Each structure stands twice: as C-alpha cells, then as structure tokens.
Amino acid sequence: MTQPARIAMLGGTFDPVHIGHLRSAVELRDALGLDTVHMMPAPQPPLRDAPQVSPRQRLALLQMAIGDTPGLQADARELEREGPSYSVDTLRSLRQEYGESARLVMAIGWDAFLRLDQWREPERLFAFAHLVVIARPGHAEPPSASLRELLGQREVDSVSDIMAAPYGNLLHVTLPSAMAISATQIRQWISEGKSVRYLLTEAVENTILREGLYQRW
C-alpha cells in the first residue's frame, strides 16, 4: 500500500529569505520524511516605514534560493489570492490539492507560535493540519495561558505519533542546525552597509546588492 503524502507549509515574509529558513526547511523535510515543503511568502510584510521590496521580488529571491533543492518549493498561492491572506485558507487549499489522507503540517518558528492565539480562528488550523513548532535560538519565552488553552491536549512526542493521523496534532522539534539568524538583522546590516555574506545564498546576496534592495530600510 502506498504511504499517504507528507506535506508541509512553511509560511513567512521571507524578507529576505536567509539560510535559517532554508536549513529549517531542509532539516524539517528530513526529520519528518516530507515529500514537499511549500515555502509560502505572505503578501504583506509587517508594517514598516519604507517597504521597498515587493512581494514579487521576495518570491523571486525565494525561488532563486531554493533552486533545484529536492522537496522544497516556492509557492505563490498566497500572493495570487485577492484580499487578506489567512493560513486556514491556504491549508484548506493544500488539503484540497493533496486529498484527505495526506499528512499536512503547518510549520512555524517559536516566535510565530507565541502569537498563534492572535490569528484568525486559530483552532480551525487543526481541522486541516498538524502544527509543528521549530525551536529558534534567542526565542525562549513560554506560551501564554490563552495559547496553552488553545492547544489543549494536542501535543504528541514523536514523528510517528504525529504522522499517525492526517491533521490535528502538535509537535515541538529542535532541528540540528538551529540558527540565530533573522531577516530583521539582515535588513538592518544591509542598510548600514555591513556584510551579510554567508547568511544568504550567494545568488540572493548578489541580487540584493546589485539591485540595491533593503538599502534604505
């Protein structure tokens, strides 16, 4: 009998995509035995003074960074949708694409996890997907009472436990190369003329510098 597909969505602003994102995606793929990790840029970056890099440019940098990496895919579906983008709608669309027996995972870093209870109808995520939370160095704040209440008894201890069902469980993972890299720090350093070498793929760094992106951030 063929195994159900194992699919993850890793959403974010990717402003710009850095090796913390890329290593997380590859190591998540390997840790969970995933067929595909959909790396999904969100349309709106968080409010900033002078957004100068468009969603299409963020997507192009992401595509460039992924290249032909097996199992990683830049997915533009949130950029193609009209109006605000909610993860639950994206997960519904992935569920429709892969069918009801697929193991569908929404992967988020610890910082994003802490804000989960402020999302729109967060409990509905669990009707479509599992939640996998990736530990992130420098982010150790504990979950709030309301977040703990939202999560209830969903937490499981192992990959085989989470993959026993198509959706509905929570797993915390610490990936081997956990890296204290953030896009905020990268934008800051570029705007100050400091080097970001090795924090980005070479092609992404070259494109950013050549096109003058993030230099007025």
In the complex, the residues that contact ligand ATP under the rule CB under 6 A are 12-15, 20-21, 24, 108-109, 111-112, 134, 136, 179, 181-184
d(CA 203, CA 208): 9
For the purposes of burial, counting CB atoms within 10 Å of the CB of 21, is it exposed (0-12), middle (13-18) or buried (19 or more)?
Answer: buried
Closer Cβ to ligand ATP, 3 or 174, answer by number: 174
Closer Cβ to ligand ATP, 131 or 163, answer by number: 131
From the list 58, 13, 20, the residue with the least C-alpha distance to 175 is 20
Closer Cβ to ligand ATP, 16 or 166, answer by number: 16
- At closest approach, how far in Å is the CB of 167 from ligand ATP? 19
- At closest approach, how far in Å is the CB of 98 from ligand ATP? 21
- For the beta sheet containing 6-12, the strands, ordered from the edge strand earlier in sequence to the opposite edge, are 72-74, 36-41, 6-12, 103-109, 130-134, 170-173
d(CA 202, CA 181): 16
Residue 181 phi/psi, 5° resolution?
-120, 135
- At closest approach, how far in Å is the CB of 175 from ligand ATP? 7
- At closest approach, how far in Å is the CB of 18 from ligand ATP? 6
Closer Cβ to ligand ATP, 170 or 179, answer by number: 179
